[in-house]
Amino acid sequence: MPPAITRQQLGAWLLKANPALWDLRGFLDSGEGRLTSWAVQRNYRSDLMAPGDRALFWVSGSGRDGLFRGIWGAGHISAEAEDWVDAERGFWLDEGGRQAVRRRVQVDITFLAEPVPATDLVAHGIIDLEVQRQPFMGNPSWVSHPELERLNELLPPWPDPPTANLG
Kindly list the structural domains of the chain, giving each domain's residue range(s) and its CATH number in brackets, ordered by start.
10-152 (3.10.590.10)
Q: Is the dihedral of CA 25, 45, 71, 133 positive or negative?
A: negative
The Cα diameter of the chain in Å comes to 42
State residue 166's pLDDT score.
Answer: 47
Q: How far apart are CA 9 and CA 80, in angstroms?
A: 18
Q: Give bridge partners of residue 39 from the DSSP assignment.
A: 104
Q: How far apart are CA 113 and CA 133, in angstroms?
A: 26
Residue pair 34/161 in contact (Cβ under 8 Å)? The answer is no
State residue 34's pLDDT score.
Answer: 92
State residue 167's pLDDT score.
Answer: 44
State residue 83's pLDDT score.
Answer: 84
Low-confidence ranges of the chain (pLDDT < 50): 165-167
